[in-house]
Structures are given as C-alpha cells and as structure tokens.
Amino acid sequence: MPQIVVLPHATHCPEGAVIEAPAGTSICDALLEHDIEIEHACEKSCACTTCHVVVREGFASLNELEEKEEDLLDRAWGLEATSRLSCQAVLADKDVVVEIPKYTINHASENH
C-alpha cells in the first residue's frame, strides 16, 4: 500500500504525517480519512483549487492531469510544476510526498 508523507502545515497538519492508502484513492480522500482536514470547497468535484497540493516526490506515479484540472490549477495560489488538485490526484503503487500550500483561494470563506 503506498504511503503519503505530508510535510508539516501550520493549520492542517502541524507535525506532518505519514499515512497509507490503497492505490486508486485520491490524495484528498486519503488525507480526509486520516483526519487531515484539507479544504475541499467544491466537495471534490474539480471545480475549485482549495485542495491544491504540491507533490514533492512521486509526481510521475499519479494519474495524468486532465484539461479541466490543468485549467483550474492556473488559478491556484503558489502554483508549481508539480502542483495537483488532491481530489483529482489518484495514487498508484508508489509513495508520494506532498506539501499543502500555506494559502488557498477560497472565495466562499474569504472575509470581504
């Protein structure tokens, strides 16, 4: 079973974490199942960028990006070459290391 190493994040996972999830599971679902409360404002429907993660290791083992995800990622805060929407990034049989960005763009929760 592949492991996901989550780098420390001040709010969602202060100590970092190492979790296991079956191949075929999205990174978002795996994090949520292990009580790492990553934002997912669109309820994992690939309609926002709040579940954005940067894959530091194991990027090539994930499923390929689809055009809709690529288009949304263009709007993500802190976009990097190995950015993915965690709701769309599906684990294969390799371990991955992910970093949850410091900020997200969540229009529903921003103070105006």
List domains and CATH numbers for the chain.
Answer: 3-99 (3.10.20.30)
pLDDT score for 106:
65
The residues, ordered by sequence, that sit 6+ positions from 35 with a Cβ below 8 Å of its Cβ are: none
DSSP-derived pairing of the beta strands 17-20 and 3-6: antiparallel
User: What would the mean pLDDT of 98-112 be, rounded to a whole number?
Assistant: 68
Q: What is the mean pLDDT of the chain?
A: 92
Q: Is the pLDDT of residue 101 over 70?
A: yes
Give the pLDDT band (50/70/90) at residue 55. Answer: very high
Query: What average pLDDT does this structure show over 9-38?
Result: 95
